[in-house]
Amino acid sequence: MSVSEREILTRKRPRLETRSLVLRSIRLFFEERGFLEVDTPLRTSAPAPEQHIEAIPADEGFFLATSPELYMKRLLSAGYDKIFQISHVFRKGERGRRHLPEFTMLEWYRGGSNYLDLQADCRHLLTSICRSTGRLGGWSYQGARLDVTEEWQLFTIREAFTRFAGWEPGSQPDEDRFNLDLVEKIEPRLGFPSPSFLVDYPSSQAALARLKDGDPAVAERFELFWAGIELANGYSELTDAEEQRARFEAAMEARFQAGLARYPLPGAFLASVEHLAPCAGIAMGLDRLVMLLTDASDLDDVVAFPPELDVTEDSLPGGFAGSIRYSNP
């Protein structure tokens, strides 16, 4: 039996109300700390070349933005110090309980900062959001107790792989083995009951991050996990224009070898890196955060309109009288 759109949207209302509260809380958090909210284009002619992220073609040589990162760092290079943005972003081929081809991302950048400063931001931000949504004392997510006030754990990649996967990645680990063990053996163990940081990724796993002083085998990159779910990815930014160009060219070649689309090099961004002072930036998936806060098992439950819709015959041109049904209600 099909479920009407009206029934589905009515059922979602409490979660959508929490979502609205989260967005207000985020804006207040950053505004109180002197951040400027910015708004960058949803289309780009040159996405950042990353092997595991596919941009969706738009029109006239443009792609839908997979992230506002390159635009925001161009603002940093022009002297903007602390900026944040809440934006819809798009990624081809991502669809599942925890993935959507169009999703909402929070991204923020700090001039004169590094990835340790971003980790502190995460602690304060999530605490503030839990306070504003009435979850500061803890709650249950899919049967697991979560509590932002308990001690947050931190593992280096080396520590996590040694402890949970039984081997230690070097600077250039086998990518398939690394990704498989990360997803199957490590991520499910992180973030109970409080969030966890996974830090110092191999240098090969950080296309736009600065290598760590004193240990160039790893990059100053971290990911934030809660209840086994990745919430955020942040790093101290690479500010060496020549090195950034070399990394992009290597990524382009890897994409070509894998049979993936080759994008134009983002020339305007590469030119801006010449003026980029030390800084750090992070992206956080807001749909996943709302999913955790509202005990939802699927991202479809925390967005008003998931991407797939079934259109009944009588709703086609010439007779829009029928209902629209979600294919996965």
Contact 65, 44 (CB under 8 A): yes
What was the pLDDT predicted at 3?
Answer: 81
Q: What is the CATH number of the domain that holds 212?
A: 3.30.930.10
Alpha-carbon distance of 247 to 244, in angstroms, equals: 5
Q: pLDDT tens digit string along 84-113?
A: 999 999 999 999 999 999 999 999 999 999
Alpha-carbon distance of 154 to 159, in angstroms, equals: 10
Among 197, 248, 265, 260, smallest CA distance to 225 is for 197
What was the pLDDT predicted at 50?
Answer: 87
Q: pLDDT tens digit string along 152-173?
A: 999 999 999 999 999 999 899 9
Q: Which two tokens stand for residue 296?
A: 């939802």
- Helix, strand, coil content of the chain in percent (nearest 5): 35, 25, 40
Cα torsion 237, 116, 69, 89 to 10°: value is 150
Alpha-carbon distance of 246 to 239, in angstroms, equals: 13
Residue 109 CB coordination number (10 Å): 26
pLDDT, average across residues 19-43: 98
**Residue-averaged pLDDT of the chain:** 92
Question: With b meaning 16 or more CB within 10 Å and e meaning fewer, what string describes 150-160?
Answer: eebbebebbeb
Residue 168 CB coordination number (10 Å): 12
Contact 296, 304 (CB under 8 A): no
What was the pLDDT predicted at 60?
Answer: 85
Q: Which two tokens stand for residue 268?
A: 């305007």
Amino acid at 26: I
Q: pLDDT tens digit string along 208-224?
A: 999 999 999 999 999 99
Amino acid at 271: A
Phi, psi (degrees; rounded to nearest 5) at 10 = -65, -45
- Count the residues in the chain: 329
Q: Which two tokens stand for residue 256?
A: 């070509």
- pLDDT exceeds 80 at position 328: no
Write out the residue range of the structural domain in which residue 113 sits: 5-326
pLDDT, average across residues 201-210: 93
- pLDDT exceeds 60 at position 1: no
Three-class secondary structure of residue 255 per DSSP: helix
Q: Which carries the bigger pLDDT value, residue 281 or residue 327?
A: 281
Question: Is there a cis peptide before residue 193, judged by omega within 30 degrees of 0?
Answer: yes
pLDDT, average across residues 76-90: 98
Task: Output the CA torsion sign for 184, 185, 188, 190.
Answer: negative
- pLDDT exceeds 90 at position 184: yes
Alpha-carbon distance of 19 to 324, in angstroms, equals: 24
120 by Cβ neighbours in 10 Å (0-12 / 13-18 / 19+) ranks as exposed
pLDDT, average across residues 229-255: 95
Contact 248, 268 (CB under 8 A): no
Number of structural domains the chain divides into: 1
Alpha-carbon distance of 225 to 188, in angstroms, equals: 9
